[in-house]
Amino acid sequence: MSEENNSFDVVIIGAGIIGAAVGFELSKRGYKTLNVDKNPASGYGSTSSSCAIIRVHYSTIPGTALAYESYYDWKNWAGYLDAEDERGMAAFHETGCLVMKTKQNGYLENICANVAALDIPFEHWDAAQIVEAIPAYDMKKYWPPKRMEDEGFAEPTGGEVDGAVMFPNAGYISDPQLATHNLQRAAEAKGGTFLFNKSVVAIPQSNGRVSGVELDDGTMISAPVVVNVAGPHSAIINEMADALGDMNIKTKALRQEVVHVPAAPGMDFEDNGFVISDSDIACYCRPESGNHILVGSEDPDCDGHTFVNPDDFNRDFSDQWTTQAHRMAQRIPSLGIPSKMRGVVDLYDVSDDWIPIYDKSSVGGYYMAIGSSGNQFKNASQAGAIMAELIGYCEGGRDHDTDPMTFELKRVQHNLDVSAFSRLREINQDSSFSVLG
């Protein structure tokens, strides 16, 4: 990058799905933006391993409203971007999302109250309707979830799951990296710039404000605003910016494994399956290309949490892969467990209550869109819009800490109090404290 072109209005650290969305939304508003990423392409880091599930149910009203507003962007992805991509557009597979009713999730009473308050469609299904839609399903209860080495693993514990709730406005994106590239091209069409294979090594400051970033090749980029969207590296970037001091909510890198297994014989899950969340077996799943089932953990206590250095962690599958696969086989007894493990091992960037931080910081001009891994892919477009509005709000002289910004969700017709995502908030006890958000 030449010296005459190293000055920007905003530098965004990260070019994952949310970093690219922040770049796009700022560029739309006329800011001269630069996304910097240590990886060789947009969406190449933890975003590329995302299950990319699009759903509208959350444990809080702000999360639910944000998800439903974002759903409309995925529904009209090409129209939202208003730009061409030579690779084509990412496809939204609207399958619906089936969530099992269990004692552990309060039989979804809180979730249903949230979606009803926002006029989001949903249907109650009994066990017979579930089995009619998924004939391979066995509705026996297995709670509490166990690991394979635990006594009683895969043994039913009595009774059947008490039905489910179907949310029709849900599904998944089959290629999360392509979706991120779409956002990159849309940002570039508005004047945004992307720089890859470069790491930020310092965030210089003057008079209590950021003045840009220093890259690992010695290049100095000047900008009055810097946004941390570094995913699993977010805590490292915050420390670099000396922005941790007043943060009541912090983030850490969490190792995760996702399983890919072939659908059971005679089961056309790719064309007829749903996104499914099943707290009885503590797994979620969605269809995957090649008639596979992608299976993730809903983070029960027995699975534990492995927090790691994002630059040095074990990418090999462990017995967690086998445990998740066999938990899924409790629900689908005819599921074959292949001898060769397939799937992904990667990182989440999680906050203390698994709700993201979309906020300013104690350092002037330094902002954060972090703690978003696992359950915020679906909200990328509106997270980008929130951050763009928040930067304008604060740089225009308003104090978001004492006078919180509200953000209008136009299609949902809901005014979102953005302090729900503040770094200063108390831990939100309404959270699921899991990937479910």
pLDDT tens-digit series, residues 270-308? 999 999 999 999 999 999 999 999 999 999 999 989 999
Name the amino acid, one letter, at 297: S
Residue 2, pLDDT > 80, answer no
CB 335 within 8 A of CB 137: no
Report the DSSP beta bridge partners of residue 303. Answer: none
Looking at 347, 364, 379, the residue that finishes a domain is: 347
The three-state (H, E, C) secondary structure of the chain, written as one string: CCHHHCECCEEEECCCHHHHHHHHHHHHCCCCEEEECCCCCCCCCHHHHCCCEECCCCCCHHHHHHHHHHHHHHHCHHHHHCCCCCCCCCCEECCCEEEECCCCCHHHHHHHHHHHHCCCCCEEECHHHHHHHCCCCCCECCCCCCCCCCCCCCCCCCCECCCEEEECCCEEECCHHHHHHHHHHHHHHCCCEEECCCCEEECCEECCEECEEEECCCCEEECCEEEECCHHHHHHHHHHCCCCCCCCCCEEEEEEEEEEEECCCCCCHHHHCCEEEECCCCEEEEEECCCEEEEEECCCHHHCCCECECCECCCCCCHHHHHHHHHHHHHCCCCCCCCCCCEEEEEEEEECCCCCEEEECCCECEEEEECECCCCHHHHHHHHHHHHHHHHHHHCCCCCCCCCCEEEECCCCEEEEHHHHCCCCCCCCCCCCCCCC
The Cα 435–Cα 437 span in angstroms is 5
Residue 17, pLDDT > 60, answer yes
Looking at 318, 347, 376, the residue that finishes a domain is: 347
Q: Is residue 206 part of a domain?
A: yes
Task: Please indicate, yes or no, whether residues 365 and 314 belong to a single structural domain of this protein.
Answer: no
Task: Please indicate, yes or no, whether residues 244 and 265 belong to a single structural domain of this protein.
Answer: no
- Confidence at residue 156, expressed as pLDDT on a 0 to 100 scale: 96
Pairing between strand 414-417 and 406-409?
A: antiparallel
Task: Please indicate, yes or no, whether residues 269 and 308 belong to a single structural domain of this protein.
Answer: yes
Task: Please indicate, yes or no, whether residues 73 and 182 belong to a single structural domain of this protein.
Answer: yes
Q: Considering the chain, what percentage of its residues have pLDDT values greater than 70? A: 98
Would you place residue 53 in the very low, low, confident or very high pLDDT band (cuts 50, 70, 90)? very high
Mean pLDDT across 41-57: 94
Q: 35-64: b or e for each residue (b if 16 or more CB lie within 10 Å)? A: bbbbbebbbbbbbbbbbbbbbbbbbbbbbb
Q: Is residue 388 part of a domain?
A: yes
Task: Please indicate, yes or no, whether residues 131 and 193 belong to a single structural domain of this protein.
Answer: no
Would you place residue 433 in the very low, low, confident or very high pLDDT band (cuts 50, 70, 90)? confident
Burial class, 161, CB count within 10 angstroms (exposed 0-12 / middle 13-18 / buried 19+): buried
Q: Is residue 431 part of a domain?
A: no
Task: Please indicate, yes or no, whether residues 28 and 138 belong to a single structural domain of this protein.
Answer: no
- Confidence at residue 379, expressed as pLDDT on a 0 to 100 scale: 96
Q: Is residue 426 part of a domain?
A: no
The whole domain housing 383 covers 3-88+175-250+353-421
* Of 344, 78, 294, 83, the residue nearest 172 (C-alpha): 294
- Confidence at residue 428, expressed as pLDDT on a 0 to 100 scale: 78
Task: Please indicate, yes or no, whether residues 60 and 137 belong to a single structural domain of this protein.
Answer: no
Looking at 302, 324, 347, the residue that finishes a domain is: 347
Task: Please indicate, yes or no, whether residues 135 and 221 belong to a single structural domain of this protein.
Answer: no
Give the mean pLDDT of the chain: 95
Task: Please indicate, yes or no, whether residues 189 and 337 belong to a single structural domain of this protein.
Answer: no
pTM for this structure? 0.96
- Confidence at residue 373, expressed as pLDDT on a 0 to 100 scale: 77
Mean pLDDT across 40-67: 93
Q: If phi over 0 gives left and psi between -120 and 50 gives alpha, with beta otherwise, what is residue 181?
A: alpha
How many folded domains does the chain comprise?
Answer: 2
Task: Please indicate, yes or no, whether residues 323 and 185 belong to a single structural domain of this protein.
Answer: no
Residue 1, pLDDT > 60, answer no
Q: Is residue 436 part of a domain?
A: no
pLDDT tens-digit series, residues 250-276? 999 999 999 999 999 999 999 999 999
pLDDT tens-digit series, residues 358-405? 999 999 999 999 998 778 999 999 999 999 999 999 999 999 999 999
Task: Please indicate, yes or no, whether residues 381 and 313 belong to a single structural domain of this protein.
Answer: no
Would you place residue 42 in the very low, low, confident or very high pLDDT band (cuts 50, 70, 90)? very high
- Confidence at residue 437, expressed as pLDDT on a 0 to 100 scale: 60
* Of 186, 151, 144, 252, the residue nearest 33 (C-alpha): 186
pLDDT tens-digit series, residues 168-214? 999 999 999 999 999 999 999 999 999 999 999 999 999 999 999 99
Q: Is residue 158 part of a domain?
A: yes
Q: Is residue 435 part of a domain?
A: no
- Confidence at residue 99, expressed as pLDDT on a 0 to 100 scale: 97
Task: Please indicate, yes or no, whether residues 267 and 213 belong to a single structural domain of this protein.
Answer: no
- Confidence at residue 110, expressed as pLDDT on a 0 to 100 scale: 94
CB 257 within 8 A of CB 321: yes
Name the amino acid, one letter, at 148: M
- Confidence at residue 400, expressed as pLDDT on a 0 to 100 scale: 98
CATH number of the domain where residue 203 is located: 3.50.50.60
Would you place residue 333 in the very low, low, confident or very high pLDDT band (cuts 50, 70, 90)? very high
Would you place residue 4 in the very low, low, confident or very high pLDDT band (cuts 50, 70, 90)? low
Q: Is residue 428 part of a domain?
A: no
CATH number of the domain where residue 281 is located: 3.30.9.10
